[in-house]
Amino acid sequence: MKTSHGFGKEVATSFEETVPKVVEALRKEGFGILCEIDVAATLRSKLGKEMPPYRIEVSSILRTGALGVRKENSK
């Protein structure tokens, strides 16, 4: 995958097989998924446009993120 706004990696497995593996790998590193955006489904339902599978996984190290939010809210 080549874009000017992100990064990617080509793998031998299908999109459907790869997404859960990526989510699990993030979890093992301490990340949690905050939001999942199925871009292809959103464009299909909102604009009637078709595109290849494309998802955005918004992740964070939850413990660190929660501490930051608490600290910000205590000001």
Residue 53 pLDDT greater than 60, yes or no: yes
More confident position, 54 or 72: 54
pLDDT at position 71 over 80? no
Global pTM? 0.68
Mean pLDDT of the chain: 85
Give pLDDT tens digits for 39-49: 999 999 999 99
Domain spans in the chain, listed from the N-terminal domain onward: 30-70
Contact indicator for 33, 60 with CB cutoff of 8 Å: no
The structure tokens listed for 41 are 């489904």
pLDDT of residue 60: 84
**4-9-10-11 Cα dihedral, nearest 10 degrees:** -160
User: What average pLDDT does the segment 6-24 reach?
Assistant: 89
The answer to whether 37 and 56 are in contact (CB under 8 A) is yes
Q: For the chain, where are the alpha helices, taking DSSP H only?
A: 15-28, 39-47, 62-73
